[in-house]
Amino acid sequence: MTNPARVRVAPSPTGDPHVGTAYMSLFNKALADTTGGQFLLRIEDTDRSRYVADSEQQIFDALAWLDLTPHEGPHVEGPVGPYRQSERLPKYKEAAEQLLKEGKAYKCFCTSERLATLRKIQQAEKSKHIGYDGLCRGLSEDEVKAKEAAGESFVVRFKMPREGDIQVEDFFRGTLKFTAAEQQDAVLLKTDGFPTYHLAMAVDDHAMGITHVIRAEEWIPSLPLHFELYRAFGWEAPVFAHMPLLRNKDKSKISKRKNPTSLLWYRDAGFLPEALRNFLSLMGFSMADDQEIFSYEEFLKQFKLEKVNIGGPIFDLQKLHWLNGEYIRALEPTELEKRLVEYVKLLMHREKEFADLPEEELPTEQFLRDFEQKRRTRSRVLAQLAPQMMTAYETNPKLMLPIIPLIRERMHTLGEAADYLPMFFSDEFSYTPDDFVQKKCTLEQAKTALGAMREIVESADFNDPEAAHAQMDETSRAKAEELGMKLGPFLGPVRMAITGSKVSPPLMESMLVLGKDETLKRLDNAIAKLA
């Protein structure tokens, strides 16, 4: 049996909650949950210039939305807090002083101007080693004192070993070998007294009892630094497991311009959290029996860190789209009703956010481009419909449920409800007579069909929906045949009259949901329009 793992995710509150944070959270939490350990959230807010005020709350909400709530964190009381680095400053200062005292770090008075110039020269010379040249590493005690006395500001840099190799184990890759001489003396403490990520991470992971650092591959280059930092403090290093990076379609690291990265985007587009979570677990992991749709609990039954596939997976929105549709269809109608109502409320009063994107800002990838355009239109439709829909729903709570079975197998995202929902709440259609002329249906035939359908509806008993459906279906077929038409073309104008569109949920069912009066009204409206 494995020992309980204490793991963490450590995002910085610099913007929208990132899909990569969710991805890392999922695998970290899975390790904690399969070993009886804990998954912590630590906020890495040591960069004051990039700090975004409500970002932290967003991160927490997004994780909760995905049901990946941490066991400990700023919002969940835990034994090793605070879980916000800005509240742990003395610990970092103390750690830096310890290294300073032991001669494992040094004060560096180089200005950012000198550093910039240095970098420029190195680049111009095509120098192999680009980075800090270690100038202040050789400063004598007196020189340091003099500079301090003169009020020169300084950073604290770590003395990296300069000879030999630095070998570090990666859980997936085995031993990773780095040349010490190529490493640089990283900054541990900035001029403003805040630690850099490197120092804070080591201090906190140690203090918080972190056993496994499961993080993205992009951290591998700083692995030797982190390892040496642990060594300098005399602490046992955690297990490092570098997960692959989520990728854009062109295989580059997932980025805003090429792929939605904000978890808020997925929520706003109407993806279900459990579907997104499921999809994310498919990135680098697969179930033994080829199962692709599974709950978190099922995932845990098979989860093993060593089963993770390390090749960088491309985030395929199209597959998520399919998976989300599967989840929507698997929902109980009452549950889907609930989600839909919540979703519509979420969009309410937000029309302005969903204005069309100018051509040049649209993503270039075809599927995403189309989806994003439609998504904005749909969001606007629902946002506008929301007030009257909610009023109608609150007046008559039984309104929504019968609609669900008609629309759910046509949806892949909650947002796609916008394509089918409006007709149930409004009969103000913008059709023209031309819209009634369709394939294999002339204007005259359309008029006749509408009139015929009016009679059919009139004589149906809507109080017995099943019988009414059967009867309307039967008589429609008979009437169509009598008119020498196929059923499809015969129903075309009727569909336009009832739904205002050539594409809609099944007609008879829709009419039954609308009720006899409304159905007749709509038929009359259409007949009047064509007169």
Partner RNA sequence: GGCCCCUUCAUCUAAUGGUUAGGAUACGGCCCUUUCAAGGCCGCGAUACGGGUUCGAAUCCCGUAGGGGUCACCA
Q: How far is the CB of 222 from RNA (least distance, A)?
A: 5
Q: How far is the CB of 16 from RNA (least distance, A)?
A: 14
Q: How far is the CB of 369 from RNA (least distance, A)?
A: 14
| Six token digits for residue 214 | 């499961």
Crossing angle of helices 443-458 and 465-482, rounded to 10°: 150
The H-assigned helical ranges of 158-234 are 197-207, 223-233
Give the CA count within 13 Å in the CB-facing half-sphere of 482: 9
Binding to RNA (CB under 7 A) within 236-295 occurs at 244-245, 247, 250-253, 282-286, 290, 292
Binding of residue 221 to RNA (CB under 7 A): yes
Q: How far apart are CA 31 and CA 24, in angstroms?
A: 11
For 7, phi then psi, to 5°, come to: -130, 170
Binding of residue 301 to RNA (CB under 7 A): no
* Active-site annotation, residues: 256
Binding of residue 479 to RNA (CB under 7 A): no
**Where does this chain touch RNA (CB under 7 A) — which range of 322-330, 336-344, 381-389, 429-437?**
322-330
Binding to RNA (CB under 7 A) within 494-523 occurs at 495, 502-509
Q: Which of residues 172 and 431 has its CB atom nearest to RNA in the complex?
A: 172
Of 71, 91, 190, 256, the one binding RNA (CB under 7 A) is 190
Of 61, 133, 169, 217, the one binding RNA (CB under 7 A) is 217
Between the CA of residue 367 and those of 251, 260, 320, 426, what are the distances in Å? 16, 12, 12, 31
Q: Which of residues 318 and 334 has its CB atom nearest to RNA in the complex?
A: 318
Of 309, 334, 364, 388, the one binding RNA (CB under 7 A) is 309
CA 18 to chain centre: 6
Between the CA of residue 142 and those of 57, 105, 146, 224, what are the distances in Å? 47, 16, 6, 31
Q: Which of residues 386 and 508 has its CB atom nearest to RNA in the complex?
A: 508
Binding of residue 153 to RNA (CB under 7 A): yes
**Where does this chain touch RNA (CB under 7 A) — which range of 6-14, 229-237, 270-278, 523-531?**
6-14
Of 145, 301, 304, 307, the one binding RNA (CB under 7 A) is 307
Residue whose structure tokens are 């990076």: 245
Site string for RNA, 328-367 (x = CB under 7 A): -x--------------------------------------
Q: How far apart are CA 295 and CA 297, in angstroms?
A: 5
Q: Which of residues 249 and 267 has its CB atom nearest to RNA in the complex?
A: 249
Partners of 41 in the β-ladder: 9
Q: How far apart are CA 92 and CA 75, in angstroms?
A: 22
Binding of residue 110 to RNA (CB under 7 A): yes
Q: Which of residues 427 and 473 has its CB atom nearest to RNA in the complex?
A: 473
Q: How far is the CB of 438 from RNA (least distance, A)?
A: 9
Binding to RNA (CB under 7 A) within 406-445 occurs at 409-410, 412
The H-assigned helical ranges of 156-220 are 197-207
Of 28, 34, 38, 46, the one binding RNA (CB under 7 A) is 46
Beta carbons of 249 and 180 less than 8 angstroms apart: no
Q: How far apart are CA 18 and CA 9, in angstroms?
A: 12
Question: Strand 239-243 and strand 187-189: pairing?
Answer: unpaired
Give the CA count within 13 Å in the CB-facing half-sphere of 229: 28
**Where does this chain touch RNA (CB under 7 A) — which range of 89-97, 393-401, 428-436, 488-496?**
488-496
Beta carbons of 355 and 376 less than 8 angstroms apart: yes
Binding of residue 112 to RNA (CB under 7 A): yes
